[in-house]
Each structure stands twice: as C-alpha cells, then as structure tokens.
Structure 1
Amino acid sequence: EAQRQAEERRREEERQRERRYEEIQAMQEQHMQQIEIMKGVLAEREGNSPHLKISPYQETEDIQDFIEAFEGIMKIQGVNRTNWILRLTPLLSGKARTVCTDLGTTTDYDGVKKAILEHYNINTERCKRKFRSHVWTRDQDPTDWIARGVKLVKRWLVPENGMEQVVNKIAVEQLLNGLPQEMRIWVTSQNPETPEKVGELIESYDTAHSCLPQRNRPK
C-alpha cells in the first residue's frame, strides 16, 4: 500500500511538472508575440507614413463611426493590420475597452472588432432601422445628411458580401413586409437570409397552423 501511494505521489509530481512546463512555454510564446508586435510598431514609426492624430473614444460617440475612422487612419498610415489592436486598445474606454482587454493578447483585429460591435448590439438589422429612420431636418447640412444616409445603407447591405447578398437582403425585407402580421413576426424571428428560406418558413408556419380549429388560426 505504501509503495502504491508513493507511486501515485510520483506520478502527480510529474503531472505538476508537465503542467508548469506548459505554462512557462505559453508565457514565453506570449512574450515573444508581444515583442514581435512592438517591433512592427517601431518599424512603422521609423517609416515615412503620414502622422494623423486619433482622438480617444468617448462613450457618447457612435462606436461604429469611431472604428471606421480608426480603420481609415490605419490604412492611410500604412500600419500593418496585425498591429491595429495595439493601436486601438489605448484609445478605447468603458465597455469597448473592457471587451478588448478581456480577449487578451491577440492580433486578430477583425475578431476583436466583431466582439465589440456585438457587445453594443450593432448588426445589419439595427443598421437597417437606423437607415429607415434617417430623416432630414432643417438644422442639418444636406450634404452631410446624404453622406450619413449612404454610410447607413452600406452598413445595412454590407456590399462587400457581393451583389447576390444585397439582392437577398432587399428581397427578404419586401417579402416579410407582405406577410400577415403574426406570420411575419414568426418568420422574421427565424432570421431568414434568402427568399427561398422565407418560402420554406411560410410553408412550415402554414402547415403547423392548418390543423388548428378555424377560430384559433392566426390571421
């Protein structure tokens, strides 16, 4: 029995040594990654890229506007995309800063951007609603108002996804608007992305309610 216990202790000590070794390796890899990021930043600073000052983000700002402005300046300055996170984090505050730091050391700018926008509940549906409610008032400059409207519709339709996706978005919206109210609410909740999917959901809804007594059927 004593020999068995001693063997178990030896094995546990070996497992602890292995875990500690893995932790040290992970720390070393993280440290080397940070060094490489800093090298890239220093190399960029020594170059001839134009210097444009970026004001820190304020909680009263539109986070999507801020991120798009940040991306534009990064492109003008020629900053390597893997270094964008290192530039972005110090500029953030509040919830945006928390989301960024919670993700830890990473060079995945697109992943961090997606997490921030999701935290603020910014998605294509929200962009569509903002575009639909974009109304001009006399205290607004017409040129600025139009530019803002174009930006909102681009955010909604996400044109980089291709013409087919744009057509699908517009078609799905119109088809949903043509449905009876209760059916529209249910079909919309399923987030259909194509007209074909809308058709499938209509059939599913209709089949599910066809067995109800006439007086209980949704209108």
Structure 2
Amino acid sequence: MRALPVRMDAVLVQALIAAALSFAHLHDLASAAGQDGWKAWAYPVSVDLLMVAAWRRLRSGESKAAGWCWFLVALTASLGANVATAGLLDLDDVPAWLRILVAGWPAVAFLGGTLLAHGAPKTPRAMTDTEPRSTVTDTAPQAPATEVEPPVGAAELPPVDVASAQPPSAPVPPALVALARKVADEHHARTGTPIDTPTLRARLGVPLPLAEAIAAQLT
C-alpha cells in the first residue's frame, strides 16, 4: 500500500520554523561554551532526539513518569538555550557553570535516551493468569453411573367434594341481617325486583363472603 505524502499545511511549516530556530539557538550556545566544529551541531540533535524519545514513551502507554521526566529535561535545555541567546547572556563571556552544564549534557542525553529506548518490558501476566490449575477432582476416579429406578407412582386418592371441603360460613349478627332486610325491602319497593348480592354488598359495605351469607338468610 502506497504511503500518503506528507501534507504541507500551516501547522507543519510553523513546526519546521520553530525547530530550525531552536536548533540554531542550541548550536550558538554550545559554540559559545567552547564546543566548536561538529560538536556544536551535535548538541541540538541530542536535545531534539531526547525530546522525541520522551514523547514516544508518553504515547506508547507504558510508564509515563520517565517519559514526563526526560521530556521536561529536554524542554528545559531547549528553552534555556532560547532564552540565553536572546540577549540575556553574554555569549562572549559564558560563565563557568554554564560551560559545565554544556559539557555534561552528552552524558545526561545518553542516559535518558538509553532508559527511554530500552525500558523494562512488561511481564506477560496474561499467560500466568489463564493457566489452568490442577485440582483434585481432575485426577480423582469417577464412580460408575448407576441406574436409578423410577419412583413408584402414588396411589390415586378418591376425589374430594369441594362443597363439603369448604369451611362453614361465619354467623351473621342479627342486627346486620335486620339492616340488610330493610335495605332489600326498600330496593324491592323501588325497583320491583329482589335485590342481588353485588347490590347488597355495595349498600352495606361488607366483604363478598359476608354479603353472600346475608343474602342466603334473606331468601
């Protein structure tokens, strides 16, 4: 599959310009600190490569503490060179402490790049977690299957009369029967028909079993 060409947009152009300026500032600072020739050009390369390695570690999903640490170290070196070459530092008279920092930077960059590129690999825990564990039940001999006899069917019971099995209805108070009789007479006088159980239950406000028992005594 053919790779797509790099899209030249404003953001990429801006990044290239910023990288070129930072590269030039680092070269000027290294040259002013006594690193002449090819060594002055190697300093900005080491700073940029350390920053790229730290950024790749942050994007890889591994331990981000080391990535952030070395990214800040490279960023501090780059920003320090930019500020130092902006007129705040006399490049003709570089202080001794800055010469020491510039001279010790290759060792720092080498250490950071090595730690970022050759970090400790992750232990494959997935293999250890999914290993089957031997149990006693795997090696224990299984007993032969025995045929289970079907249970003998129970003898059929004679049918039970539902009407005789129902409990007797509770006795109705005489006062309630008298009230129900009065309500039934009023209903018969008004409609000409005997009162039914649902109407009697609604007029008296009693449960349905009690209304049925009252209606049975009114007939």
* TM-score, normalised with respect to structure 1: 0.19
The structure in which a higher percent of residues are helix is 1
Q: Comparing both chains, which one has the higher relative contact order based on Cα–Cα distances under 8 Å and sequence gaps of 6 or more?
A: 2
Point out the structure with max Rg over C-alpha: 2
